Every structure is written in structure tokens, then in C-alpha cells.
Amino acid sequence: MIQNTENKIGRIYLFDNIKFLAILLVVIGHAINFLTETDGNMLEKSLFLTIYSIHMPLFIFISGLFLKPMDKSTKFPKQKVISFILIGIVLRIIMSVLRLVLGKNMNYSLLDMYDSFTWFMWAMAVFITLMWIFREYNTKIILLFSLLIGCMAGYDKFLGDKLALMRIVVFLPFFVAGYMIKPESLAAFLSKKWVKVVSIFVAVGFLALFFINTDIYQYLRPIFTGRNSFEVLGRFSKFGFAVRLLCYAISTLFGLSVMSLVPNINIGIISKTGSKTLQIYFWHQVFLVLLSHFGVYGLISSVTGDTIATGVYILIAVAVTFVCSLSVFSFPTKQLLSFGKNK
């Protein structure tokens, strides 16, 4: 979740636009997650699978892509690590206080990353730390081992929300993959004509899979979230390794296809918003909690019906994304990111 997309040859707007798409999918995904837990119609479930198959893998991949390469001489990036930890702590406090103000139970746990959003801040701190620890090792070997561990982790029922260990292990390969690729090389690959043509067919194929074969929802939903053990697969739990590997493949192919279809041009407010992903991630859940508390979806649904209400709710999530990109919402992430920097 890097705020700038700069390199020696100038700005590559492709990555600003990809980051905008990634954060937009995160906001819509969290909104859809609420809907699937209430009425859960098949449109919402299909949208959930579509979004959750790529939104965090894409977000984490881009975060790794813009982590500066580290070698033996690189000092531990403590300022960056501490900043992400502090952002997560402050966000959790804000959400706990908000729940209290709204008359809900005030949940707070330092170790249990039970929610669907603050875990990412802790995960980023861990990802950066791990890449520093193994900075002298071949990144291809690190990627291979992270994939193997990610596929096996689901058999350990004790991993889970504690310190977000399951999600950290599951999503680590995407961070490593991003870290080992140069942004310029990725942009060049994604711009190839044949890649874009193939990407159209791949993207359409996965969309068809998610919207036509609705039976896969019950199996892939808990795996795409990255927080569950293979016990959720029921009688198929012994095949968890293969299911996780399948999900990795889907996220990779679908994610690359989507990135290839994103234009590499300055799209004004979209490109600008793509450079403000951290503050959007920090504040969007506040708006979604308020929308849920005041029953906005129910009010819309009572007038339009569920299907149209889902579309309207998604548009509201889009609006939340742009609202959270306003300068006023740069607090406190901007200040926390600067924490500990030499004056």
C-alpha cells in the first residue's frame, strides 16, 4: 500500500490506476460481505467471489511491488514497520469507540485480528520484516516455500485470527511475488498486445465461472478470505492443499488479466485517488459501519427490491471510496507514516 508510484523514467500511471481499482474492490468487497451475511442473494454471492478472488491478492502484490529492494547493507526499516503497526492500533481503537457510540458491544483484542480490515496493517509490518530477514536469499526460493506453507497452513486448525497468522501465511506469496518483480518490467509485460487479448478471454472466463456456477460459492468463499482452516471444506477438507493451490491460480491469472486491461494513462481523479489508498483503507470501514447501523440497504431494498438495491449499494461504496480520498481524511495515516522519521 505505497502512496507514490514513481520511477526513474517518470510516473507509470498504470499502477496508480491499478491501485485505484484494488482499493475500490476492497471497499465494495467489504460492503458486499455485509450483504451476503444478511439477505445473501446469488448476485451478491457471485460478486463476492469475483471481488474476493483478486482484491487482497492484488492489493498485497502491488504493495510488495513498490517495496524498495533490500540487501545485506540495508538497515531494518523500523520506521515503516512501526508506522503500519500504529496505524492498525489506532484504526482498531477508532472502530471500537464507534461501536460503543452506536450502542454496540465494544470489542477490542490486541492479539485476535477478528475483523476484516485492521489485520492488513499488521500483515504489512510482518511482510516487510520477513523480506528484510530473508533479504540475502533467492526470492524465487522464498516464493516457492511461501507457496508450500500457504497451501499447507489450512490443515492447522490452530492458525486463524490470532495475530492474523492464517491470512499472513496465505497472502505472503503475493507480497513476495510483487517484491521480486520490477515495476517497469511488469508494465512492459502487461502492455503487450497478445497479453491483453488473452486477458480478455481469461477475465470473461472467470466471470462466467463465478456467475454461472453458483455451487462453488460455499467452497471457495471461506478459502478466498484467507482466514479459515480447511475444516470449512467439510468432506473435501483432505483436498485442501489442491483447493488452496487452485485459488492461488485463479487469483494470479484473474489478477494479471485485470491488471493488463487497466489503461496506462492519466485518468484524472481516478489516477489521483489511486495514490491515496492507505487513507481510503483506513476510513472506509467507518462509513460502511454507519451505513449498516442505520439500515441504508434495507431502506433502499424496500423501495427498489434486492437486485437494484445491491447495485445502488455498490454505487454508494464507490462514493465512499472517493470521499475517503479527500485531503481531510489523510489524518492520521499521513502523520503515522511519518512517525519516527528524522527531522
Q: For the packed helices 240-261 and 193-212, what is the interaxial angle rounded to 10 degrees? A: 130
Residues 131, 70 contacting (CB under 8 angstroms): yes
Q: 3-state DSSP call for residue 84?
A: helix
- As beta bridge partners, residue 162 has 112
Model confidence pLDDT, tens digit, residues 258-267: 999 999 999 9
Model confidence, pTM: 0.92
- Specify the amino acid at residue 337: L
Percent pLDDT > 70 in the chain is 91
Cell numbers standing for residue 318: 464507490
* H helix count then E strand count, the chain: 16, 0
Model confidence pLDDT, tens digit, residues 101-112: 998 877 666 667
Model confidence pLDDT, tens digit, residues 56-93: 999 999 999 999 999 999 999 999 999 999 999 899 88
Position 163 scores a pLDDT of: 86
Residues 30, 116 contacting (CB under 8 angstroms): yes
Name residues whose C-beta falls within 8 Å of residue 196's C-beta, 6 or more positions apart in sequence: 190, 260, 261
Please compute the mean of the pLDDT values over residues 141-165 and round it to a whole number: 92
Position 63 scores a pLDDT of: 95
Question: Does 341 score more than 80 pLDDT?
Answer: no
Model confidence pLDDT, tens digit, residues 211-247: 998 788 888 989 999 999 999 999 999 999 999 999 9
Model confidence pLDDT, tens digit, residues 41-60: 788 889 999 999 999 999 99
Name residues whose C-beta falls within 8 Å of residue 211's C-beta, 6 or more positions apart in sequence: 46, 50
